Protein backbone atom coordinates (compact mmCIF):
# COMPACT_ATOMS: atom_id res chain seq x y z
CA UNK A 1 0.00 0.00 0.00
CA UNK A 2 1.55 3.28 -1.08
CA UNK A 3 2.37 5.51 1.87
CA UNK A 4 0.54 8.44 0.39
CA UNK A 5 -2.80 6.66 1.06
CA UNK A 6 -3.89 7.70 4.53
CA UNK A 7 -6.48 5.41 6.07
CA UNK A 8 -9.50 7.44 6.96
CA UNK A 9 -13.07 6.24 7.25
CA UNK A 10 -15.66 6.80 4.58
CA UNK A 11 -19.41 6.66 4.96
CA UNK A 12 -21.26 3.50 4.00
CA UNK A 13 -24.23 5.55 2.77
CA UNK A 14 -26.59 3.35 4.82
CA UNK A 15 -28.56 5.05 7.62
CA UNK A 16 -27.49 3.57 10.94
CA UNK A 17 -24.60 1.47 9.57
CA UNK A 18 -21.92 4.13 10.11
CA UNK A 19 -22.84 4.20 13.81
CA UNK A 20 -22.25 0.46 13.99
CA UNK A 21 -18.96 0.73 12.08
CA UNK A 22 -17.77 3.62 14.23
CA UNK A 23 -17.66 5.98 11.27
CA UNK A 24 -17.81 3.78 8.19
CA UNK A 25 -15.41 1.71 6.10
CA UNK A 26 -11.66 2.28 6.02
CA UNK A 27 -10.44 3.67 2.73
CA UNK A 28 -8.56 1.28 0.45
CA UNK A 29 -9.85 -1.77 2.30
CA UNK A 30 -12.08 -4.55 1.02
CA UNK A 31 -15.27 -5.68 2.72
CA UNK A 32 -17.36 -8.78 2.25
CA UNK A 33 -21.15 -8.42 2.31
CA UNK A 34 -22.47 -11.93 2.88
CA UNK A 35 -26.02 -13.19 3.05
CA UNK A 36 -28.70 -15.27 1.43
CA UNK A 37 -30.96 -14.33 -1.46
CA UNK A 38 -32.98 -11.16 -0.86
CA UNK A 39 -31.03 -10.12 2.20
CA UNK A 40 -29.92 -6.84 0.67
CA UNK A 41 -26.30 -7.44 -0.29
CA UNK A 42 -26.59 -5.64 -3.60
CA UNK A 43 -28.51 -2.79 -1.98
CA UNK A 44 -25.76 -2.22 0.59
CA UNK A 45 -23.30 -1.98 -2.31
CA UNK A 46 -25.54 0.49 -4.14
CA UNK A 47 -25.81 2.73 -1.09
CA UNK A 48 -22.01 2.70 -0.89
CA UNK A 49 -21.64 3.77 -4.52
CA UNK A 50 -24.43 6.33 -4.31
CA UNK A 51 -22.64 7.91 -1.35
CA UNK A 52 -19.46 8.10 -3.38
CA UNK A 53 -21.30 9.63 -6.29
CA UNK A 54 -22.79 12.30 -3.99
CA UNK A 55 -19.24 13.25 -3.00
CA UNK A 56 -18.15 13.40 -6.63
CA UNK A 57 -16.06 10.22 -6.34
CA UNK A 58 -15.91 7.98 -9.45
CA UNK A 59 -17.78 4.82 -8.50
CA UNK A 60 -17.98 1.48 -10.31
CA UNK A 61 -20.37 -1.46 -10.01
CA UNK A 62 -19.05 -4.71 -11.48
CA UNK A 63 -21.92 -7.12 -12.00
CA UNK A 64 -21.49 -10.75 -12.93
CA UNK A 65 -25.06 -11.84 -12.32
CA UNK A 66 -27.79 -9.25 -12.69
CA UNK A 67 -27.95 -6.98 -15.72
CA UNK A 68 -27.11 -3.30 -15.31
CA UNK A 69 -30.58 -2.25 -16.46
CA UNK A 70 -32.28 -4.40 -13.82
CA UNK A 71 -30.00 -3.14 -11.06
CA UNK A 72 -30.64 0.49 -11.98
CA UNK A 73 -34.38 -0.17 -12.09
CA UNK A 74 -34.40 -1.84 -8.67
CA UNK A 75 -32.23 0.93 -7.24
CA UNK A 76 -34.63 3.54 -8.52
CA UNK A 77 -37.57 1.75 -6.83
CA UNK A 78 -35.65 1.88 -3.58
CA UNK A 79 -35.01 5.59 -4.00
CA UNK A 80 -31.30 5.30 -4.82
CA UNK A 81 -29.80 7.69 -7.34
CA UNK A 82 -27.08 6.01 -9.42
CA UNK A 83 -26.96 8.64 -12.12
CA UNK A 84 -23.18 8.94 -12.35
CA UNK A 85 -22.28 5.48 -11.12
CA UNK A 86 -20.48 3.52 -13.83
CA UNK A 87 -21.31 -0.11 -14.50
CA UNK A 88 -19.20 -2.94 -15.90
CA UNK A 89 -21.75 -5.54 -16.92
CA UNK A 90 -20.12 -8.95 -17.18
CA UNK A 91 -23.38 -10.87 -16.81
CA UNK A 92 -24.32 -13.46 -19.43
CA UNK A 93 -26.39 -12.07 -22.29
CA UNK A 94 -29.59 -13.62 -23.66
CA UNK A 95 -27.58 -14.67 -26.73
CA UNK A 96 -25.72 -17.15 -24.58
CA UNK A 97 -28.96 -19.11 -24.48
CA UNK A 98 -30.48 -18.35 -27.87
CA UNK A 99 -27.25 -18.73 -29.82
CA UNK A 100 -26.39 -21.92 -27.90
CA UNK A 101 -23.14 -20.45 -26.71
CA UNK A 102 -22.56 -23.06 -24.08
CA UNK A 103 -19.28 -24.96 -24.31
CA UNK A 104 -17.47 -27.72 -22.49
CA UNK A 105 -14.26 -28.24 -24.47
CA UNK A 106 -12.21 -26.02 -22.19
CA UNK A 107 -12.88 -24.89 -18.60
CA UNK A 108 -14.40 -21.43 -18.00
CA UNK A 109 -11.23 -20.58 -16.14
CA UNK A 110 -9.26 -20.92 -19.35
CA UNK A 111 -11.82 -19.37 -21.69
CA UNK A 112 -13.24 -16.46 -19.77
CA UNK A 113 -10.76 -15.40 -17.13
CA UNK A 114 -8.56 -13.52 -19.52
CA UNK A 115 -11.34 -11.50 -21.21
CA UNK A 116 -12.95 -10.75 -17.82
CA UNK A 117 -9.63 -9.69 -16.31
CA UNK A 118 -8.87 -7.53 -19.32
CA UNK A 119 -12.30 -5.86 -19.20
CA UNK A 120 -11.94 -5.08 -15.49
CA UNK A 121 -8.38 -3.82 -15.85
CA UNK A 122 -9.31 -1.53 -18.74
CA UNK A 123 -12.28 -0.12 -16.85
CA UNK A 124 -10.30 0.51 -13.65
CA UNK A 125 -7.49 2.18 -15.54
CA UNK A 126 -9.81 4.45 -17.49
CA UNK A 127 -12.23 5.36 -14.67
CA UNK A 128 -9.87 5.27 -11.64
CA UNK A 129 -12.79 4.67 -9.27
CA UNK A 130 -12.60 5.52 -5.57
CA UNK A 131 -15.41 3.07 -4.76
CA UNK A 132 -15.93 -0.33 -6.35
CA UNK A 133 -18.64 -2.91 -5.72
CA UNK A 134 -18.40 -6.46 -7.08
CA UNK A 135 -21.55 -8.58 -7.23
CA UNK A 136 -20.71 -11.32 -6.71
CA UNK A 137 -17.17 -12.51 -6.11
CA UNK A 138 -18.50 -16.09 -6.02
CA UNK A 139 -18.70 -16.03 -9.82
CA UNK A 140 -14.93 -15.73 -9.99
CA UNK A 141 -14.73 -19.12 -8.32
CA UNK A 142 -15.87 -20.66 -11.60
CA UNK A 143 -13.06 -18.88 -13.42
CA UNK A 144 -10.45 -20.59 -11.28
CA UNK A 145 -9.06 -24.05 -11.81
CA UNK A 146 -8.83 -24.85 -8.12
CA UNK A 147 -9.31 -23.43 -4.62
CA UNK A 148 -5.70 -22.26 -4.35
CA UNK A 149 -5.89 -20.41 -7.68
CA UNK A 150 -9.19 -18.81 -6.65
CA UNK A 151 -7.77 -17.54 -3.39
CA UNK A 152 -4.69 -16.19 -5.12
CA UNK A 153 -6.73 -14.53 -7.82
CA UNK A 154 -9.14 -12.86 -5.41
CA UNK A 155 -6.34 -11.64 -3.17
CA UNK A 156 -4.39 -10.19 -6.08
CA UNK A 157 -7.56 -8.72 -7.58
CA UNK A 158 -8.46 -6.95 -4.34
CA UNK A 159 -4.92 -5.70 -3.96
CA UNK A 160 -4.99 -4.38 -7.51
CA UNK A 161 -8.19 -2.46 -6.74
CA UNK A 162 -7.04 -1.14 -3.34
CA UNK A 163 -3.68 -0.11 -4.73
CA UNK A 164 -5.44 1.68 -7.57
CA UNK A 165 -7.07 3.83 -4.89
CA UNK A 166 -10.42 2.11 -4.44
CA UNK A 167 -12.37 0.98 -1.42
CA UNK A 168 -14.13 -2.24 -2.30
CA UNK A 169 -17.32 -3.97 -1.26
CA UNK A 170 -17.90 -7.44 -2.64
CA UNK A 171 -20.73 -9.87 -2.18
CA UNK A 172 -20.67 -13.62 -1.85
CA UNK A 173 -23.34 -16.22 -2.48
CA UNK A 174 -22.41 -18.96 -0.09
CA UNK A 175 -23.88 -22.41 -0.59
CA UNK A 176 -23.02 -25.93 0.52
CA UNK A 177 -21.21 -26.43 -2.79
CA UNK A 178 -19.39 -23.12 -2.62
CA UNK A 179 -18.95 -21.97 0.96
CA UNK A 180 -17.38 -18.53 1.28
CA UNK A 181 -14.98 -19.33 4.12
CA UNK A 182 -11.94 -18.42 2.04
CA UNK A 183 -13.41 -15.03 1.13
CA UNK A 184 -14.01 -14.36 4.82
CA UNK A 185 -10.33 -14.77 5.51
CA UNK A 186 -9.37 -12.49 2.64
CA UNK A 187 -11.72 -9.62 3.51
CA UNK A 188 -10.75 -6.75 5.82
CA UNK A 189 -14.26 -6.78 7.20
CA UNK A 190 -17.41 -8.87 7.02
CA UNK A 191 -21.02 -7.76 7.22
CA UNK A 192 -23.36 -10.74 7.61
CA UNK A 193 -26.97 -10.28 6.62
CA UNK A 194 -29.62 -12.78 7.69
CA UNK A 195 -33.36 -13.10 7.36
CA UNK A 196 -35.49 -14.82 9.98
CA UNK A 197 -39.20 -14.88 10.75
CA UNK A 198 -38.55 -12.06 13.20
CA UNK A 199 -36.98 -9.81 10.60
CA UNK A 200 -33.74 -8.96 8.89
CA UNK A 201 -30.61 -8.74 11.00
CA UNK A 202 -27.12 -7.51 10.31
CA UNK A 203 -24.00 -8.41 12.22
CA UNK A 204 -20.40 -7.29 11.86
CA UNK A 205 -18.33 -10.43 12.03
CA UNK A 206 -14.95 -8.84 11.38
CA UNK A 207 -13.58 -5.32 11.02
CA UNK A 208 -9.82 -4.92 10.90
CA UNK A 209 -8.37 -1.81 12.44
CA UNK A 210 -11.37 -0.56 14.38
CA UNK A 211 -13.90 -1.51 16.97
CA UNK A 212 -17.55 -1.68 16.08
CA UNK A 213 -20.91 -2.21 17.72
CA UNK A 214 -21.11 -5.95 18.10
CA UNK A 215 -24.22 -8.11 18.14
CA UNK A 216 -27.20 -8.32 15.83
CA UNK A 217 -28.94 -5.20 14.59
CA UNK A 218 -32.27 -5.16 12.87
CA UNK A 219 -32.59 -3.55 9.45
CA UNK A 220 -35.30 -3.00 6.89
CA UNK A 221 -35.41 -2.51 3.15
CA UNK A 222 -37.90 0.24 2.41
CA UNK A 223 -39.05 1.67 -0.90
CA UNK A 224 -37.82 5.21 -1.15
CA UNK A 225 -35.16 4.72 1.52
CA UNK A 226 -33.25 1.61 0.61
CA UNK A 227 -31.75 -0.10 3.62
CA UNK A 228 -32.25 1.43 7.06
CA UNK A 229 -30.32 -0.12 9.95
CA UNK A 230 -31.39 0.19 13.58
CA UNK A 231 -28.27 -0.16 15.70
CA UNK A 232 -28.97 -1.86 19.00
CA UNK A 233 -29.16 0.73 21.69
CA UNK A 234 -26.12 1.27 23.90
CA UNK A 235 -27.42 1.64 27.44
CA UNK A 236 -24.27 3.33 28.65
CA UNK A 237 -24.19 5.92 25.87
CA UNK A 238 -24.43 9.10 27.87
CA UNK A 239 -24.67 12.60 26.55
CA UNK A 240 -25.89 14.62 29.55
CA UNK A 241 -24.87 15.28 33.13
CA UNK A 242 -27.42 13.69 35.45
CA UNK A 243 -28.92 15.83 38.21
CA UNK A 244 -31.59 13.57 39.82
CA UNK A 245 -33.67 16.57 40.83
CA UNK A 246 -37.10 15.64 42.17
CA UNK A 247 -40.03 15.93 39.81
CA UNK A 248 -43.31 16.55 41.62
CA UNK A 249 -46.57 15.02 40.47
CA UNK A 250 -48.71 18.06 41.15
CA UNK A 251 -50.77 16.08 43.68
CA UNK A 252 -49.42 16.99 47.14
CA UNK A 253 -50.34 13.66 48.76
CA UNK A 254 -48.49 11.69 46.04
CA UNK A 255 -45.47 13.93 46.55
CA UNK A 256 -45.71 13.21 50.28
CA UNK A 257 -45.65 9.49 49.52
CA UNK A 258 -42.58 10.05 47.37
CA UNK A 259 -40.92 12.49 49.77
CA UNK A 260 -40.95 15.20 47.14
CA UNK A 261 -41.40 13.38 43.84
CA UNK A 262 -39.74 11.06 41.34
CA UNK A 263 -36.05 11.71 40.62
CA UNK A 264 -35.33 12.91 37.11
CA UNK A 265 -33.73 10.26 34.92
CA UNK A 266 -35.16 7.32 36.86
CA UNK A 267 -37.34 4.45 35.66
CA UNK A 268 -40.65 4.05 37.48
CA UNK A 269 -42.92 1.05 37.25
CA UNK A 270 -46.54 1.91 38.00
CA UNK A 271 -47.96 -1.45 38.87
CA UNK A 272 -51.59 -2.44 39.24
CA UNK A 273 -54.52 -4.40 37.88
CA UNK A 274 -56.54 -3.17 34.93
CA UNK A 275 -58.48 0.02 35.59
CA UNK A 276 -56.65 1.17 38.69
CA UNK A 277 -55.35 4.32 37.00
CA UNK A 278 -51.81 3.51 36.00
CA UNK A 279 -51.91 5.51 32.77
CA UNK A 280 -53.73 8.37 34.51
CA UNK A 281 -51.06 8.53 37.20
CA UNK A 282 -48.33 8.63 34.55
CA UNK A 283 -50.24 11.35 32.70
CA UNK A 284 -50.39 13.35 35.91
CA UNK A 285 -46.60 13.54 36.02
CA UNK A 286 -46.60 14.44 32.34
CA UNK A 287 -49.15 17.19 32.96
CA UNK A 288 -46.92 18.63 35.69
CA UNK A 289 -43.90 18.44 33.34
CA UNK A 290 -45.85 20.28 30.66
CA UNK A 291 -46.41 23.04 33.19
CA UNK A 292 -42.64 23.35 33.44
CA UNK A 293 -42.44 23.54 29.63
CA UNK A 294 -40.93 20.08 29.31
CA UNK A 295 -41.81 17.72 26.48
CA UNK A 296 -43.08 14.19 27.05
CA UNK A 297 -43.94 11.34 24.70
CA UNK A 298 -46.44 8.60 25.44
CA UNK A 299 -46.02 5.44 23.37
CA UNK A 300 -49.33 3.60 23.55
CA UNK A 301 -49.45 -0.05 22.54
CA UNK A 302 -53.03 -0.78 23.49
CA UNK A 303 -55.30 2.27 23.55
CA UNK A 304 -55.90 4.59 20.65
CA UNK A 305 -54.75 8.20 20.81
CA UNK A 306 -58.35 9.42 20.72
CA UNK A 307 -59.34 7.30 23.73
CA UNK A 308 -56.43 8.56 25.76
CA UNK A 309 -57.26 12.16 24.91
CA UNK A 310 -60.91 11.60 25.85
CA UNK A 311 -60.09 9.76 29.08
CA UNK A 312 -57.58 12.33 30.17
CA UNK A 313 -59.87 15.25 29.49
CA UNK A 314 -62.48 13.62 31.77
CA UNK A 315 -60.03 13.73 34.66
CA UNK A 316 -58.81 17.27 34.18
CA UNK A 317 -55.65 16.40 32.24
CA UNK A 318 -55.73 18.75 29.21
CA UNK A 319 -54.01 16.46 26.73
CA UNK A 320 -55.23 18.33 23.64
CA UNK A 321 -53.73 21.58 24.87
CA UNK A 322 -50.46 19.87 25.75
CA UNK A 323 -50.30 18.36 22.26
CA UNK A 324 -50.96 21.74 20.66
CA UNK A 325 -48.23 23.37 22.75
CA UNK A 326 -45.79 20.64 21.84
CA UNK A 327 -45.31 19.48 25.43
CA UNK A 328 -46.88 16.12 24.71
CA UNK A 329 -46.89 13.72 21.79
CA UNK A 330 -48.88 10.49 21.83
CA UNK A 331 -47.72 7.78 19.41
CA UNK A 332 -49.86 4.74 18.78
CA UNK A 333 -47.63 1.75 18.12
CA UNK A 334 -49.32 -0.79 15.86
CA UNK A 335 -48.64 -4.46 16.59
CA UNK A 336 -45.75 -6.28 14.92
CA UNK A 337 -44.59 -3.30 12.85
CA UNK A 338 -41.53 -2.56 14.94
CA UNK A 339 -38.62 -4.67 16.02
CA UNK A 340 -37.03 -3.82 19.39
CA UNK A 341 -34.19 -2.01 17.63
CA UNK A 342 -36.39 -0.01 15.24
CA UNK A 343 -38.62 1.01 18.15
CA UNK A 344 -35.65 2.00 20.29
CA UNK A 345 -34.16 3.93 17.35
CA UNK A 346 -37.40 5.89 17.01
CA UNK A 347 -37.46 6.71 20.73
CA UNK A 348 -33.77 7.65 20.73
CA UNK A 349 -34.14 9.87 17.68
CA UNK A 350 -37.07 11.69 19.27
CA UNK A 351 -35.20 12.23 22.54
CA UNK A 352 -32.11 13.55 20.78
CA UNK A 353 -33.93 15.69 18.24
CA UNK A 354 -36.79 17.03 20.36
CA UNK A 355 -35.17 17.07 23.80
CA UNK A 356 -37.95 14.93 25.26
CA UNK A 357 -37.73 14.73 29.05
CA UNK A 358 -40.33 12.10 29.93
CA UNK A 359 -41.18 8.89 28.10
CA UNK A 360 -44.05 6.62 29.03
CA UNK A 361 -44.39 3.13 27.49
CA UNK A 362 -48.00 2.11 28.06
CA UNK A 363 -47.86 -0.71 28.90
CA UNK A 364 -44.97 -3.13 29.33
CA UNK A 365 -47.19 -6.09 28.35
CA UNK A 366 -48.36 -4.11 25.34
CA UNK A 367 -44.71 -3.48 24.38
CA UNK A 368 -43.92 -7.18 24.64
CA UNK A 369 -46.93 -8.15 22.52
CA UNK A 370 -46.56 -5.43 19.90
CA UNK A 371 -42.85 -5.47 19.25
CA UNK A 372 -41.72 -8.48 17.26
CA UNK A 373 -38.54 -10.23 18.11
CA UNK A 374 -36.76 -12.24 20.73
CA UNK A 375 -35.28 -11.23 24.10
CA UNK A 376 -37.81 -8.41 24.35
CA UNK A 377 -37.19 -7.80 28.05
CA UNK A 378 -33.47 -7.39 27.41
CA UNK A 379 -34.20 -4.79 24.74
CA UNK A 380 -36.62 -2.98 27.05
CA UNK A 381 -33.95 -2.94 29.72
CA UNK A 382 -31.39 -1.49 27.30
CA UNK A 383 -33.82 1.19 26.14
CA UNK A 384 -34.75 2.18 29.71
CA UNK A 385 -31.12 2.31 30.75
CA UNK A 386 -30.23 4.45 27.73
CA UNK A 387 -33.07 6.87 28.49
CA UNK A 388 -32.18 6.98 32.16
CA UNK A 389 -28.49 7.61 31.45
CA UNK A 390 -29.52 10.50 29.26
CA UNK A 391 -31.65 12.18 31.89
CA UNK A 392 -35.02 11.05 30.53
CA UNK A 393 -37.56 10.01 33.15
CA UNK A 394 -39.37 6.81 32.22
CA UNK A 395 -42.78 5.59 33.29
CA UNK A 396 -43.77 1.98 32.72
CA UNK A 397 -47.41 1.24 33.50
CA UNK A 398 -47.40 -2.48 34.18
CA UNK A 399 -50.51 -4.58 34.54
CA UNK A 400 -50.82 -7.25 37.19
CA UNK A 401 -53.21 -10.13 36.65
CA UNK A 402 -54.79 -10.40 40.04
CA UNK A 403 -57.40 -7.85 40.94
CA UNK A 404 -56.81 -8.52 44.61
CA UNK A 405 -55.00 -11.16 46.60
CA UNK A 406 -51.51 -12.48 45.80
CA UNK A 407 -49.18 -9.57 45.49
CA UNK A 408 -46.88 -9.16 42.47
CA UNK A 409 -45.23 -6.14 40.87
CA UNK A 410 -45.60 -7.32 37.28
CA UNK A 411 -46.64 -10.36 35.28
CA UNK A 412 -43.24 -10.44 33.62
CA UNK A 413 -39.96 -10.41 35.47
CA UNK A 414 -39.13 -6.74 34.92
CA UNK A 415 -39.00 -5.33 38.42
CA UNK A 416 -35.20 -5.17 38.19
CA UNK A 417 -35.63 -2.47 35.53
CA UNK A 418 -37.15 -0.04 37.95
CA UNK A 419 -35.56 2.57 40.15
CA UNK A 420 -39.00 3.21 41.61
CA UNK A 421 -42.12 1.12 42.01
CA UNK A 422 -45.51 2.68 42.69
CA UNK A 423 -48.31 0.23 43.32
CA UNK A 424 -52.03 0.74 42.75
CA UNK A 425 -54.40 -1.82 44.17
CA UNK A 426 -58.09 -2.48 44.46
CA UNK A 427 -59.42 -2.83 47.96
CA UNK A 428 -62.87 -3.85 49.03
CA UNK A 429 -64.25 -1.72 51.83
CA UNK A 430 -67.74 -2.43 53.14
CA UNK A 431 -68.82 -3.91 49.82
CA UNK A 432 -67.37 -1.07 47.77
CA UNK A 433 -64.43 -1.34 45.36
CA UNK A 434 -61.86 1.34 46.04
CA UNK A 435 -58.29 1.96 45.10
CA UNK A 436 -55.10 2.31 47.13
CA UNK A 437 -51.70 3.73 46.22
CA UNK A 438 -48.34 3.05 47.79
CA UNK A 439 -44.64 3.16 47.07
CA UNK A 440 -42.76 -0.13 47.17
CA UNK A 441 -39.29 1.01 46.12
CA UNK A 442 -37.34 4.20 45.56
CA UNK A 443 -33.70 3.64 44.73
CA UNK A 444 -32.46 7.17 45.21
CA UNK A 445 -34.25 8.17 48.35
CA UNK A 446 -36.68 7.39 51.11
CA UNK A 447 -40.43 7.27 50.80
CA UNK A 448 -43.54 7.03 52.90
CA UNK A 449 -44.27 3.47 53.93
CA UNK A 450 -48.04 3.84 54.16
CA UNK A 451 -50.80 3.13 51.70
CA UNK A 452 -53.34 5.79 50.88
CA UNK A 453 -56.70 5.81 49.17
CA UNK A 454 -56.47 6.80 45.51
CA UNK A 455 -59.36 8.29 43.58
CA UNK A 456 -59.79 9.45 40.02
CA UNK A 457 -62.37 12.20 39.82
CA UNK A 458 -63.48 14.70 37.25
CA UNK A 459 -61.23 17.18 38.99
CA UNK A 460 -58.23 14.91 38.69
CA UNK A 461 -56.43 12.51 40.98
CA UNK A 462 -57.28 12.69 44.68
CA UNK A 463 -55.20 10.91 47.27
CA UNK A 464 -56.32 10.59 50.85
CA UNK A 465 -54.55 10.39 54.18
CA UNK A 466 -52.47 7.29 55.04
CA UNK A 467 -54.72 4.26 55.72
CA UNK A 468 -53.41 3.71 59.22
CA UNK A 469 -56.80 2.45 60.40
CA UNK A 470 -56.56 -0.66 58.21
CA UNK A 471 -54.39 -3.68 57.86
CA UNK A 472 -54.14 -6.47 55.22
CA UNK A 473 -54.75 -3.79 52.60
CA UNK A 474 -52.60 -5.50 49.98
CA UNK A 475 -54.70 -8.67 50.21
CA UNK A 476 -57.57 -6.65 48.74
CA UNK A 477 -59.74 -7.21 51.79
CA UNK A 478 -58.50 -4.83 54.46
CA UNK A 479 -59.56 -5.14 58.06
CA UNK A 480 -60.25 -2.17 60.26
CA UNK A 481 -57.84 -1.87 63.14
CA UNK A 482 -59.79 -1.87 66.44
CA UNK A 483 -59.91 1.48 68.14
CA UNK A 484 -58.96 3.43 64.97
Q: Is 223 in the site for another protein (CB under 8 A)?
A: no
Q: Which is nearer to another protein, 110 or 352 (CB)?
A: 110
Q: Is 241 in the site for another protein (CB under 8 A)?
A: no
Smallest CA-to-CA distance from 57 within 148, 156, 127 is with 127
Candidates 74, 84, 107, 313; binder of another protein (CB under 8 A) is 107
Q: Is 245 in the site for another protein (CB under 8 A)?
A: no
Scanning 105-113, 120-128, 226-234, 447-455 for contacts with another protein by CB under 8 A, the matching segment is 105-113
Q: Is 98 in the site for another protein (CB under 8 A)?
A: no
Q: Please, what is the minimum distance in Å from the beta carbon of residue 122 to another protein?
A: 20
What is the Cβ-side half-sphere exposure of residue 160, based on CA atoms within 13 angstroms?
Answer: 14
Scanning 104-112, 292-300, 308-316, 385-393 for contacts with another protein by CB under 8 A, the matching segment is 104-112
Q: Is 105 in the site for another protein (CB under 8 A)?
A: yes
Q: Is 114 in the site for another protein (CB under 8 A)?
A: no
Q: Is 100 in the site for another protein (CB under 8 A)?
A: yes
Q: Which is nearer to another protein, 113 or 278 (CB)?
A: 113
Q: Are 267 and 303 in contact (CB under 8 A)?
A: no
Label residue 114 exposed, middle or buried (CB < 10 Å: 0-12, 13-18, 19+): exposed
Label residue 7 exposed, middle or buried (CB < 10 Å: 0-12, 13-18, 19+): exposed
Q: Which is nearer to another protein, 102 or 241 (CB)?
A: 102
| Three-state SS at 443 | coil
Candidates 69, 70, 110, 471; binder of another protein (CB under 8 A) is 110
| Three-state SS at 332 | strand
Smallest CA-to-CA distance from 454 within 328, 315, 317, 311 is with 315
Give whole-number Cα distances, 47 to 17, 31, 170, in Å.
Answer: 11, 14, 13
Scanning 94-102, 178-186, 207-215, 363-371 for contacts with another protein by CB under 8 A, the matching segment is 94-102
Candidates 81, 97, 101, 209; binder of another protein (CB under 8 A) is 101
Q: Please, what is the minimum distance in Å from the beta carbon of residue 176 to another protein?
A: 23
What is the Cβ-side half-sphere exposure of residue 293, based on CA atoms within 13 angstroms?
Answer: 0
Number of residues that bind another protein (CB under 8 A): 10
Q: Which long-range contacts (CB under 8 A, 24 or more apart) does 433-436 make?
A: 435/276, 435/277, 436/467, 436/473
Q: Please, what is the minimum distance in Å from the beta carbon of residue 170 to another protein?
A: 27
Q: Which residues bind another protein (CB under 8 A)?
A: 100-107, 110-111
Amino acid sequence: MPEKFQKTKISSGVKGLDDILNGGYFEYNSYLIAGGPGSGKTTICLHFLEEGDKKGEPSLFITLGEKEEQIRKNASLLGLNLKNVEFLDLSPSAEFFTEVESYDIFSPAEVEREPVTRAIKNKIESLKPKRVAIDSMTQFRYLSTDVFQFRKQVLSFLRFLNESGATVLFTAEASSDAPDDDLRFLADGIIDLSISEIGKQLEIKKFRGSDYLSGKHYYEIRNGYGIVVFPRILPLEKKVTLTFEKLPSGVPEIDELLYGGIERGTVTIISGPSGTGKTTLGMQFIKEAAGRGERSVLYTFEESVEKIIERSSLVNIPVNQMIKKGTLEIKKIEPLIFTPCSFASMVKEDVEKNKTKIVMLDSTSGYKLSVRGSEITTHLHALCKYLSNNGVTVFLPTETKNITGDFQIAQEDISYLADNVIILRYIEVQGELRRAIGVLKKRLGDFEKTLREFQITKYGIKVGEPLKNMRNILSGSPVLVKGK
